Amino acid sequence: MTSLGYFLSCEEFPPDELVRQAVRAESAGFERLWISDHFHPWNGEQGHSPFVWSVIGALSQACSLPITTAVTCPIVRMHPAVVAQAAATCAVQLDGRFVLGLGTGEALNEHITGAHWPPSATRREMLKEAVDVIRSLFTGKQISHRGPYFTVDNARIYTLPARSPPIYISGFGPRSARLAGRIGDGYQSTMPSRELVSEFRDAGGVGKPTQAGFKVCYAPTAGEAISTAHRLWPNEQLPGELAQILPTPAHFEQASSLVPASAVEEAVPCGPDLKPYLDRIRAFFDAGFDEVYIQQIGSGQGRFFDFWESEVVPEIAV
């Protein structure tokens, strides 16, 4: 069963605004929420980065939608034992409507403790061990762990949900998609790639849920929307591994200065025309994703939700 959710951007908005958006998203017909987990925004224009676990606590009291972190990195900035406790608490607050989305992260957020930022192969190994630690702690037993990357000494989580939250794994390449199939309860991506979904399925993901998200920018004119998207999210169009290795928002601003507005226009559904929005949604569902999350770029959230209710919902309900 396919469904549509709203993607809350912690990089763009303070906590109270994120809560307002979640409430409005539910009333507009969205069925679930994604929420990003960052220490820094990607650039100074975005301007925010609240602590996601506090925001989820507020969301649990404000709306009834399921929530998935997209995504939390449990390998450098936060020890997996701390992530396990945070996730367990959220699952209790949300009465089982919480999914823990995990990934290998970015230097932008993880280098802040001064720890070495490892190469991608090492980060995947660290993630696998972190998932093992988190699942062990979800049992409610006291555990000790001595692994190549993490140590846990006589830890036990006392506040636990009736059922452990599912763990979905984010992956943007075939190795990560296969890892998600092996160790995850589901898969997350931001690309409408049938090939990556197949890699996930072939590696053990048959029958497991798949999630994906993308950005849009609704505005009364295409020009206004393109300008807003280019100002706030040019980093989305950076090539290769830059998103994983650049360490500060200033570095992203420098690299993004090379991204033309035309690249954003080509990649992001912008403006009042309904067709690009519907085409992008269908591309993800056609690629095999079960849940698709949409993030409105910029401050025009009210305009977007009105557009969604009046223009998009009637089309997707057909």
Instruction: Specify whether 48 is catalytic.
Output: no
Q: Out of 38, 40, 111, 230, pick the active-site residue.
A: 38
Q: Which has the closest alpha carbon to 55: 73, 77, 38?
A: 38
- What is the CB neighbour count within 10 angstroms for residue 317? 7
Catalytic member of 106, 129, 236, 265: 106
148 — phi, psi (to 5°)? -65, -25
Amino acid at 143: I
User: Active-site residue 291, yes or no?
Assistant: no
Q: How far is CA 188 from CA 143, 181, 219, in A?
A: 29, 11, 28
Note whether 200 and 182 are within 8 A (CB). no
Residues annotated catalytic, as ranges: 38, 106
